Amino acid sequence: MEWTSKDVEELKKNYNSYNSLEELGAYLNRSVRSIKQKAARLGLSRGQAPANKPKNKEHRNIVDKRYYEKNRVEIYNTKIKRLKKIKIDLINVLGGKCSRCGYNKCVSALEFHHLGDKEDNIAHIIKNKSKEKALKEVKKCILLCANCHREVHNVGA
C-alpha cells in the first residue's frame, strides 16, 4: 500500500505526539513496522526514553516503599532530629527559658502559650508547614515551662 502525501504529512505531524506506535498505526491504518520504516526514511525521531526509565508507572511507588521499609528507623530518627532542631530555634527566638519562672533545663518541658489569636497549634505547624509559618505563629506566643503553662490554663478551675 502506497503512502499518500496526506499520510506522510500526518506521520510527520503525529510521530512524536502519539504515546504508542500502535495507536498511530490504527489512526493511519498501517503496521508499526511500516510506520517505523517510513519514519526512518523521512529522518523522523521519537527521541529515546532513558534506559533506566521503568515501563511500569507504579515502579517509583514500589521503589519508595522498599526504601522506606529498609530505612524506616533511620528516616524516623532523622525526622525527630529535624523537628527538635526547629523547636529549639523557635524557643531561642523567645528567649530560651520560661517567661514566668526562668526554667530552661529541658527543651521538651518548654511550651508555647498563645496570647492572642491562634491560627494553629505550634506542634502541628512545625510538623506540617514551613519554618517561616511556625516563626510567624510563635511571635504571637510566650514561652512557658509545662508547670507554668498548666497553672495559666487552670486559673479559672
CA–CA separation, 35 and 71 (whole Å): 47
List, for residues 96-128, the tens digit of each pLDDT value. 999 999 999 999 999 999 888 888 888 888 888
Would you say residue 51 has pLDDT above 70?
A: no
pLDDT of residue 118: 81
User: Are 83 and 126 found together in one domain?
Assistant: yes
User: Are 134 and 78 found together in one domain?
Assistant: yes
Would you say residue 53 has pLDDT above 80?
A: no
20/133: higher pLDDT: 133
User: Are 65 and 137 found together in one domain?
Assistant: yes
List, for residues 70-98, the tens digit of each pLDDT value. 999 999 999 999 999 999 999 999 999 99
| Residue 49 within a domain | no
Would you say residue 142 has pLDDT above 70?
A: yes
User: Are 79 and 145 found together in one domain?
Assistant: yes
pLDDT of residue 42: 87
CA–CA separation, 12 and 38 (whole Å): 10
Would you say residue 34 has pLDDT above 70?
A: yes
Domain that holds residue 36: 5-42
User: Are 91 and 15 found together in one domain?
Assistant: no
User: Are 100 and 139 found together in one domain?
Assistant: yes
| Residue 68 within a domain | yes
User: Are 136 and 67 found together in one domain?
Assistant: yes
Beta bridge partners, 112, equal 143
User: Are 23 and 63 found together in one domain?
Assistant: no
Q: Which grid cell sits at 62?
A: 514500589
Would you say residue 64 has pLDDT above 70?
A: yes
pLDDT of residue 54: 67
- What are the Cα distances from residue 49, in Å, to 9, 10, 53, 61? 24, 23, 7, 20
Would you say residue 16 has pLDDT above 60?
A: yes
User: Are 11 and 63 found together in one domain?
Assistant: no
User: Are 80 and 149 found together in one domain?
Assistant: yes
CA–CA separation, 119 and 138 (whole Å): 11
pLDDT of residue 113: 92
Report the share of the chain in percent with pLDDT over 70: 92
Strands (E), 20-139: 110-114
Domain count, the chain: 2
User: Are 38 and 63 found together in one domain?
Assistant: no
| Number of CB atoms found within 10 A of residue 90's CB | 22
Q: What is the mean pLDDT of the chain?
A: 86
CA–CA separation, 114 and 66 (whole Å): 42
